Amino acid sequence: MALQQHQLHFVLLPLMAQGHLIPMIDMARLFAERGVIVTVITTPLNALRFKTIIDRAVESGLPIRLLQLRLPSVEAGLPEGCENVDCLPSREMMTNFFTATAMLQEPLEQLLGELQPVPSCIISAMAFPWAAETARKFQIPRLVFHGTCCFSLLCCHNILQYKVAESITSESEAFVVPGLPDRIEITKSMLPGNLPQSSGDLKNIRDQVNEAELTAYGVVVNSFEELEPKYVEEYLKAKSGKVWCIGPVSQCNKEILDKAERGKKASIDEKQCLNWLDAKEPASVVYVCLGSLCRLTNSEMIELGLGLEASGHPFVWVIRGGERYPEVEKWLADEEFEERTKDRGLVIKGWAPQSNSSMRNWLHKFWELESAGLDDVPGSKLEGGENIGRVEKAVNRVMDGGDVGEETRRRVRELGERARKAMEEGGSSYFNMTLFIQDIMQHQASKELPIYVTTTKDEIFF
């Protein structure tokens, strides 16, 4: 008989932000469905956002547990109860937030030492570079989880590797991202927070994050191979093969309750939203949701709304809560925007469930690539007063039924079907999750004293 392996136990440590928490919870359920014991560690207020989903998973027999650590918010200079990035009073307090999360290392290590069975690996957010040291102490692999796609990850990797952005002084100067299958041109102002454009304390955090990722055992990505085959292949080369695309993990949500209760409580009644949608023609509604960490200014958000109105197409527009966009709230009321667009517009203020950020990010770029040469199509950010016309034309191009719009929508439907198949048994993401579990199992076995049992002359099991 073969050596019986110890039960696999994955510890998930998500960043306290919706784009990380939601797919991490989905991923936990998928691993648990494969028989892996999963422990998700977060803070009390974040745990409340997912308690009902976890409770249902446990009741169904899945080996998941949700453990809580107190986030020292006040000690780090944050308001009491500020436990999620979407609760920060301003972006300037991100440094305080990262300080608070780093203070979780000691209590986390104490908790890990008490967990049974012994953890097999840690899957953490890239924003927790200190998790690398924790993993070394416990002699277990540390995987970095990315909720975005291989396209953006490869862009970031190559920009850092080639140091291409460091010599550019202007925020608006365009440069070509090196080493990509396609020609991608961006500006320094478009770079995410882990790339060279921040300074001071954030720069120190950025450097720690990038250094810790270099020493990570591997990367788990919420994407699928059929979405971006060239970029998956190139990112695999960049990371020496230790990349597992296991998404879109949102496909694990089969029940309506699970879909509706991912993250915060929705700010609109589910029946009200469905009734509104049912009154519209199939595939006629534009859904606009820029995420809970949207960085557009108040004026840019207003222009976005006016562009949607000018397009003449039905739309659902999700706006983050009024504390982030007070001027937008005032404008909505003063201009009676919701009243004058009520027949074809639905404005949702606050939280609205969104299935997959990887698809959102990639499809945005897909839109840009497919529309190359069309100067009036909006890029990665809105700027200037002409935004109203740009939004109007971009929406019309996709929704009016022309060749570009029809082809874009056809390919999006096709990608949606491929995403579903990727997660099914026999699909690429299902297979990649199997490979990942086997990899961690083999790594765990390599640390134990092997027992050799010969069953035939030619077969040896470990």
pLDDT tens track for 51-75: 999 999 999 999 999 999 999 999 9
- The total of other beta-carbon atoms located within 10 Å of residue 44's CB is 12
Residue 99 pLDDT greater than 80, yes or no: yes
- Which one is predicted more confidently, 201 or 400? 400
- In sequence order, what are the residues at sequence separation of 6 or more whose Cβ sits closer than 8 angstroms to the Cβ of residue 248? 222, 223, 224, 355, 356, 358, 359, 419, 422, 423, 429
Beta strands, E only, 407-450: none
In degrees and rounded to multiples of 5, residue 352 shows phi and psi of -135, 130
Tell me: pLDDT of 169 over 90: no
Question: Other CB atoms closer than 10 Å to residue 442's CB: what's the count?
Answer: 11
pLDDT at residue 404 greater than cutoff 90: no
Lowest mean pLDDT across 2-6, 156-160, 317-321, 454-458: 454-458
Q: What is the mean pLDDT of the chain?
A: 85
pLDDT at 353: 63
The whole-number average pLDDT for the span 389-405 is 87
At residue 260, the pLDDT reads 55
**Weakest-pLDDT range from 221-225, 306-310, 428-432, 457-461:** 457-461
Task: Determine the average pLDDT of the residues in 222-242.
Answer: 97
Looking at residue 196, its pLDDT comes to 60
pLDDT given at position 368 = 39
- pLDDT band for position 373 (50/70/90)? low
At residue 371, does pLDDT exceed 90?
A: no
DSSP letter for 63, please.
-
Q: In this structure, how many other beta carbons lie within 10 angstroms of the beta carbon of residue 118?
A: 14
**In the prediction, which pLDDT does 365 show?**
41
Mean pLDDT throughout 360-368? 42
The Cα-based distances of 43 to 144, 398, 446 in angstroms read 19, 42, 33
Sequence-distant (≥ 6) Cβ neighbours of residue 177 within 8 angstroms: 155, 158, 159, 164, 184, 185, 186
Domains annotated on the chain, with CATH:
9-253+425-448 (3.40.50.2000), 266-415 (3.40.50.2000)
Identity at 238, one-letter amino acid code:
A
In the structure, what pLDDT confidence band is assigned to residue 282 with cuts at 50, 70 and 90?
Answer: confident
Task: Please indicate whether residue 154 or residue 356 has the higher confidence score (pLDDT).
Answer: 154
Chain centroid to CA 39: 19
Question: Phi, psi at residue 348, to the nearest 5°?
Answer: -110, 115
Output the pLDDT for position 406: 86
pLDDT of residue 380: 36
Query: Widest CA span of the chain, in angstroms?
Result: 84
Identify which has the larger pLDDT, 273 or 48.
Answer: 48
pLDDT tens readout for residues 71-85: 999 999 999 999 999
Q: Contact at 8 Å (CB) between 247 and 221?
A: yes
Q: Which of 10-19, 267-276, 327-336, 418-427 has the lowest mean pLDDT?
A: 267-276
pLDDT score, position 458 = 40
pLDDT higher for 118 or 273? 118
Where is average pLDDT lowest: 105-119, 222-236, 370-384?
370-384
Which range is least confidently modeled, 280-284, 289-293, 401-405?
289-293
Is the per-residue pLDDT at 89 higher than 90? no
Q: Give me the percent of the chain exceeding a pLDDT of 90.
A: 60
pLDDT confidence band for 91 (50 / 70 / 90): confident
Does 461 score more than 60 pLDDT? no
Please state, in angstroms and rounded to a whole number, the distance separating the CA atoms of residues 184 and 177: 6
pTM of the model: 0.84
Lowest-pLDDT choice from 92-101, 146-155, 265-274: 265-274
- Kindly state the average pLDDT of the residues 34-53: 96
Joined tokens for residue 434: 């199997």
The pLDDT value recorded for residue 428 is 98
Q: How far is CA 408 from the centre of its chain?
A: 23
Q: Are strands 9-13 and 121-125 parallel, antiparallel or unpaired?
A: parallel
Percent of the chain with pLDDT strictly greater than 70: 83
Alpha carbon distance 246, 424 (integer Å): 11
Which tokens hold the place of 431? 């297979």
Q: How high is the pLDDT of residue 81?
A: 94
pLDDT computed for residue 255 by the predictor: 63
Q: Kindly provide the residue ranges of all beta strands, DSSP E only, lying in 246-394, ordered along the sequence.
A: 286-289, 315-319, 345-349
Higher pLDDT, 452 or 33: 33
